[in-house]
Every structure is written in C-alpha cells, then in structure tokens.
C-alpha cells in the first residue's frame, strides 16, 4: 500500500485495533448465525480484517470442525463468537483453547467470570459486548481484554440505545481496553468518525451478508439488495406481560403474522386456555428455525431476515476484499478531503 498522509492518519487512528487482532485493518466481521461460517470468516481475514465464526447453537464437535475448516482456508487470525447462555459454554470455550483460537467473543449477556478466567488462563483474549458504561467497567474489572458497543441500528438482537449515543457515552469513559463500535456502520466515513472519537476499530455484519463468499441463499441476498434502511425494523411486542426480545429484521409476511400469533395467544391466555408459561413459550417458539429457513433455504416470506439499518448501503453482491477495499477508500477519501484544504491554505500563505 502506498504511503500517503491520509493512509498514515488512518493507520494511526486504528493502530490499537490492528495490534489487538494482528490484522491489516481494524474491521471485524459481526458473527451472524448461518452466515458467518468458514467461507465468509476466512474471506474477511484474508482481506485484511478479522473474521469471527458464529458458534450459535453448535455443539463442541461441530465447532471444532468449523474452526479447522476455517483454518484450512486462511492462515491469518480469526475468532469465535460464543453465546454465554449456551448450556455447554465451558466445553465450547475449551474447544477454542484446544484449537488455539486467539480471540473469543462472548455475546448474549454478561459472561460468567469462570468462562473469562478459563479463556484467559488458556491464553485467549476475551472480547465482550458492553450495553452501558457501567457494564463496560464491570467487564474490564473482570478481566475482559476488549469491548464491543453495539447500537440499536444493528441487525438481530438489539438494545435500546443508538450507536451514536453509546459511542458518546462509552468511548470517553473507557480507555484502558480497546473498544470497537458496531451497529449501522456501512461506509468508511463513519468508520473514521468513530475512530476519531476514540474507537479502536469497528464491527460490521450486514455489509458482509451479500459478499460473494457468503453462503446466504440468493433470495436472501436479493432481499438485502432491494431493501432500504426503513425496511429493517425491530420486532413488535403487543403486551408487556409477554416480553419479546427485540430483533431487527426486514419486514415480511412472517413479521406480520407474528403480530397475529401474539394476539391469538394472548387472547387464549386471557380466556384461561393457556398458562402464562405456556403462552410465553408459544410466542417465543414462533421464530424457531426461521433464520435458517431464510438464510439457507431462501424462505424470504416467512423466514427471519435479520438485518441492520445499514442494509440500504448494500447495493450489490461483491467479493469480501472489494467490500473492505471500498470501505478503506471511503475512509481515505474523507481524510484526503481534509488534507487538501489544509494544503491549499498553506500554499496561499
């Protein structure tokens, strides 16, 4: 890569993130179940970023196979995302250690102290999601090596606070570990903005769904390419007695039917036909298998089309390397534009 003032500035801005992951660029791939498999993960790492396997509900043997298959496709660093509510979390963590995975991302809740200790004693770096400054500080005290803050613009399970607000709250307050920003990031200019606020790097998920190396079904990819930011909406909860964990996805017949199903189940509960537990379980069961149906089988009508609001910036299928190069070019273009007026002023003086 040719050295320029803009590139030197970008390298300086994300030097901490690059050093943490051992990568050319401080861009890590969001772990998307059924999408972030060996193919996409290796492609992101081979393009200079940091790919992350989405373990999801895999059992330990399946995760071991996926790690080894990924390593057959890349010699560069990659990580594994583990869901902390998985009943076999300790076994999955041990698989990561046995397979010499250098970085493990713990997601889906506050990670158990024993899991953090297990991973760190085994030589892995631990990354965790921090929804607030308070949680972030607690995680740092517990030994986590880096944090991800993810705003409500992200796809899949989301919190209530936007990326911009989280960044303003967390980045000035937590400096002792690298903090990576996620949620709604689709262009290089946004990457620069968060780096200049103090982020060590960024995480992108939605932007990589339509990568050529992604195994997502062509119909799933086309749904992303056709969608705008407004199409990626959070799931709706009809009754506070029956909580619905908010999930951001593209609206379709499945999301419309979910409202009908909730209404029917709640009515049955009110009539005494269902217990509260049975009603809650019936609501939660509605989406069972829906993500796989959409991603793998191409059921874009009733499947779950989890997508972040940056989906409007996904306009075509591209190789992963082209996506990362495009993001870098946009970042450099922004920095170059700042450099040019400065040069012009200097010449005039």
pLDDT given for residue 288 in this prediction: 87
In the chain the domains, ranked by start, together with CATH numbers, are 5-214+315-337 (3.20.20.70), 228-306 (no CATH)
Per-residue pLDDT tens for 197-247? Answer: 999 999 999 999 999 999 999 999 999 999 999 999 999 999 999 999 899
3-state helix, strand, coil in the chain (%, to 5): 50, 15, 40
105 within 8 A of 52, measured Cβ to Cβ: yes
Type and span of the H or E element at 327: helix 320-348
Long-range contacts formed by 182-185: CB under 8 A, 24+ apart:
182/30, 182/148, 182/149, 182/150, 182/151, 182/154, 183/149, 183/150, 183/151, 183/152, 183/153, 183/154, 183/158, 183/308, 184/151, 184/153, 184/154, 184/308, 184/309, 184/310, 185/310
Closest CA to 281 of 238, 242, 245: 242
Burial call 276-309: b when 16+ CB within 10 Å, e when fewer = eeebbebbeebbeebbebbbeebbbebbbbbbbb
Q: Is the dihedral of CA 295, 29, 90, 170 positive or negative?
A: negative
Query: Which pLDDT value is given to residue 1?
Result: 61
User: Given a cut of 90, is residue 318 above it in pLDDT?
Assistant: yes
**What is the distance between the alpha carbons of residues 270 and 217, in angstroms, rounded to a whole number?**
40
Q: What is the pLDDT of residues 155-180, one digit of tens each?
A: 999 989 999 999 999 999 999 999 99
Give the three-class secondary structure for 150. strand
Residue 66 vs residues 41, 63, 254, 291: alpha-carbon distances, Å: 10, 5, 30, 19
Q: Which two tokens stand for residue 118?
A: 């297990």
**What percent of the chain has a predicted confidence (pLDDT) above 70?**
97
- CA dist 20 and 50 (Å) reads 10
Structure tokens at 252: 């379709």
Please report which confidence band the pLDDT of residue 346 belongs to, taking 50, 70 and 90 as the band edges: low
Average pLDDT, the chain: 95
344 pLDDT above the threshold of 50: no
> Tokens in use for 336?
């170059």
Q: 55-98: per-residue pLDDT in tens?
A: 999 999 999 999 999 999 999 999 999 999 999 999 999 999 99
Model pLDDT for residues 115-141, shown as the tens digit of each residue: 999 999 999 999 999 999 999 999 999
User: To which H or E segment does residue 206 belong?
Assistant: none
* The residue to which tokens 């801005």 are assigned: 13
- pLDDT, mean of residues 189-197: 98
Would you call 84 helix, strand, or coil by DSSP? coil
Q: How far is CA 3 from CA 7, 11, 204, 212, in A?
A: 6, 10, 26, 29
pTM for this prediction: 0.94
Q: How confident is the model at residue 349 (pLDDT cuts 50, 70, 90)?
A: low
């Amino acid at each position: 890569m040719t050295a320029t003032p803009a590139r030197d500035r970008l390298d300086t801005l994300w030097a901490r993130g690059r050093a943490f992951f051992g990568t050319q660029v401080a861009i890590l791939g969001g772990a998307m179940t059924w999408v972030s498999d060996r193919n996409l993960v290796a492609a992101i790492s081979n393009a200079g970023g940091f790919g992350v396997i989405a373990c999801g509900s895999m059992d330990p043997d399946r995760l071991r196979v996926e790690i080894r298959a990924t390593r057959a496709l890349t010699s560069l660093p990659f990580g594994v995302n583990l869901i902390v509510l998985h009943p076999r979390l300790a076994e999955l963590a041990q698989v990561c250690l046995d397979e010499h995975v250098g970085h493990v991302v713990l997601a889906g809740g506050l990670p158990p102290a024993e899991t953090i200790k297990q991973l760190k004693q085994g030589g892995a770096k631990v990354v965790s999601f921090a929804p607030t400054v308070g949680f972030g500080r607690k995680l740092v005290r517990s030994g986590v090596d880096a944090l991800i803050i993810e705003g409500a613009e992200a796809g899949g399970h989301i919190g209530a606070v936007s990326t911009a607000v989280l960044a303003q709250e967390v980045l000035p307050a937590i400096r002792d570990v690298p903090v990576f920003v996620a949620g709604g990031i689709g262009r290089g200019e946004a990457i620069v903005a968060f780096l200049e606020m103090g982020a060590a790097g960024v995480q992108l998920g939605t932007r990589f769904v339509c990568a050529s190396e992604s195994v997502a079904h062509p119909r799933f990819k086309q749904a992303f390419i056709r969608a705008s930011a407004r199409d990626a909406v959070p799931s709706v909860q009809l009754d506070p007695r029956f909580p619905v964990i908010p999930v951001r996805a593209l609206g379709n017949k499945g999301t419309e039917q979910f409202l009908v199903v909730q209404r029917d189940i709640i009515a049955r509960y009110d009539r005494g036909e269902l217990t509260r537990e049975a009603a809650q379980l019936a609501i939660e069961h509605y989406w069972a298998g829906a993500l796989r149906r959409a991603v793998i089988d191409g059921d874009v009508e009733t499947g779950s089309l989890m997508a972040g609001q940056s989906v409007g910036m996904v306009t075509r299928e591209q190789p992963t390397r082209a996506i990362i190069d495009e993001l870098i070019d946009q970042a450099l273009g922004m920095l170059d534009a700042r450099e040019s007026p400065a040069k012009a002023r200097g010449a005039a003086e």
